[in-house]
Amino acid sequence: MPGLARPLQSYIHDARLLPIAEKVQRGERLTFEDGLLLYETPDLTGVGAMAHHVRLAKHGLKTYFVQNRRLSYTNICYTHCQFCAFQAKPGDPRAYVLSAEDIVGELAKPENAGVKELHMVAGHYPKLKIEYFEDLFRRIKERFPDLHLKVFTMVEMGYYAKVSGLSVEAFLDRCVAAGLESCPGGGAEIFDAEIRAEICVGKKDAQVWLDNAELCHAKGVPTNCTMLYGHIEQAKHKVDHLLRLRDLQDRSLAKGKAHFLAYIPLAYQNENNELSRTHVIHETTGVADLREIAVARLLLDNIPHIKAYWVMIGEGLAQIGLNYGANDLDGTIIEEEIAHDAGASTPQMLSKAQLVRIIREAGFEALERDNLYQTYDSEPVTA
């Protein structure tokens, strides 16, 4: 690797994977049972080689990154997710709410020079209504017209529409008119109802996330999608989750307006949350993290980009993930709370130069992108 010098089959040790390799070579869609086997087999090299084969066919050696900034307007959350260490209840000394002035002031700081995408998700706080978001988006766009606004998980969108007394569609229309351009993929967790009842009991059922994503797409707003893995879920729950994303993507692509741009597997961070006090859950391992990237590349045949999210799995493993199906390292991030509050030991940010070096050292071509995967230079960027 990076390229495959030998026939795909020669990388496979578990003979049960050979029929899957044939389907992959024919470009045939994989089934639920195939997905279970991809999770069950100890042959990570074989799964990785198949994912790399697909990655090379779709993207060659192209590997994307974005100069982005993560920010949360509040950590106050009235919803209760057992896996979340970020949430604070009103009165908690950690609780904060940022005003539009605070956020514009933060974005004007020198460390944000070069940032092209603002990725905002936050708690569910009923005092923030549509007027807050309209004002916030307008002020940001006034001061930074070229900054792409990627805001709201699908659950957040439903929540803030409800507390604003609006339908999700009306809320979305007003946010788009004020400057919202796309939505991140968070908040999906695991769609299976029994697992949700243990890890995010307060969160609406999975259909809300899926319906709101479908609505965004129908309205021309691209979104991303995620899955939280490495807690109490089993392979069957993950395959179910991925296939529900794939089905939705089929429908959105058929409508032709907007669709999922990228999928990001989110490795569960196991500290400072309720789940860590009630369950013994170990950190995810390198094998598990690479397998999530590879399985996603194989099952999600209609989602163009798979991210290796270095914040949650580490820069080194994300780099190796480029050989296991990933073609995007997300970005510079600059400040991250959700994973770090829950124990992530990765840095707060990576510079553009670091991202380029990580990608090139692995033998791939580094391309700085905007949120819609348009690249800034026709030539690969320099550090």
Rg of the chain, C-alpha, whole Å: 20
Out of 11, 64, 73, 83, point to the residue binding ligand V47 (CB under 6 A).
83
Out of 184, 222, 314, 325, point to the residue binding ligand V47 (CB under 6 A).
184
Output the six-digit token pair for 309.
């999210």
Q: What is the secondary structure of 77-138 as a DSSP string?
A: -SS--TT-SS-B-TT-TT--B--HHHHHHHHTSGGGTT--EEEE-----TT--HHHHHHHHH
What is the C-alpha separation between 383 and 380, in angstroms, rounded?
10
| 66 binds ligand V47, rule: CB under 6 A | no
Out of 46, 48, 158, 187, point to the residue binding ligand V47 (CB under 6 A).
187
Strands across the sheet with 148-151, in order? 68-71, 117-120, 148-151
Does an H or E element contain 71, and which?
strand 68-71
What is the C-alpha separation between 261 and 367, in angstroms, rounded?
16
Out of 330, 332, 334, 359, point to the residue binding ligand V47 (CB under 6 A).
330
Segment near ligand V47 (CB under 6 A); pick from 13-21, 39-47, 83-91, 295-303: 83-91
Euclidean distance between the first and the last CA atom of the chain, given in angstroms as a whole number:
23
Q: How far is the CB of 196 from ligand V47 (least distance, A)?
A: 12
Out of 72, 75, 112, 224, point to the residue binding ligand V47 (CB under 6 A).
224
Out of 74, 82, 153, 323, point to the residue binding ligand V47 (CB under 6 A).
153
| 350 binds ligand V47, rule: CB under 6 A | no
| 185 binds ligand V47, rule: CB under 6 A | yes
Segment near ligand V47 (CB under 6 A); pick from 33-41, 92-100, 158-166, 221-229: 221-229
Q: How far is the CB of 110 from ligand V47 (least distance, A)?
A: 24
Q: How many CB atoms lie within 10 A of CB 255?
A: 12
Segment near ligand V47 (CB under 6 A); pick from 92-100, 179-187, 252-260, 287-295: 179-187
| 182 binds ligand V47, rule: CB under 6 A | no
Segment near ligand V47 (CB under 6 A); pick from 11-19, 54-62, 163-171, 182-190: 182-190
Query: Quick one: 2 or 78, whose CB is closer to ligand V47?
Result: 78
Q: Which residues, including other chains, have CB under 8 Å from residue 117's CB and lie 6 or more apart?
A: 66, 67, 68, 69, 147, 148, 150, 331, 370, 371
Segment near ligand V47 (CB under 6 A); pick from 33-41, 108-116, 178-186, 201-209: 178-186
Query: Quick one: 12 or 122, whose CB is closer to ligand V47?
Result: 122
Give the residue at shortest CB distance from ligand V47: 186
Q: Please, are residues 179 and 120 in contact by the beta-carbon 8 Å criterion?
A: no
Helices 286-299, 235-255: crossing angle, 10 deg rounding: 40
Query: Quick one: 170 or 193, whose CB is closer to ligand V47?
Result: 193
What is the C-alpha separation between 311 and 292, in angstroms, rounded?
15
Give SS3 for 365: strand
Helices 235-255, 206-218: crossing angle, 10 deg rounding: 20
Out of 212, 226, 252, 332, point to the residue binding ligand V47 (CB under 6 A).
226
Segment near ligand V47 (CB under 6 A); pick from 2-10, 88-96, 183-191, 356-364: 183-191
Site string for ligand V47, 281-320 (x = CB under 6 A): ----------------------------x--x--------
What is the C-alpha separation between 347 and 203, in angstroms, rounded?
29
Give strand pairing partners of 184: none
SS3 of the chain: helix, strand, coil, percent, to 5: 45, 15, 40
Out of 47, 264, 358, 359, point to the residue binding ligand V47 (CB under 6 A).
264
| 249 binds ligand V47, rule: CB under 6 A | no
Segment near ligand V47 (CB under 6 A); pick from 124-132, 140-148, 250-258, 337-345: 337-345
What is the C-alpha separation between 373 and 305, in angstroms, rounded?
9
List interacting residues with ligand V47 (CB under 6 A): 83-85, 121, 153, 184-187, 189, 224, 226, 228, 262, 264, 266, 268-269, 273, 309, 312, 330, 338-339, 342
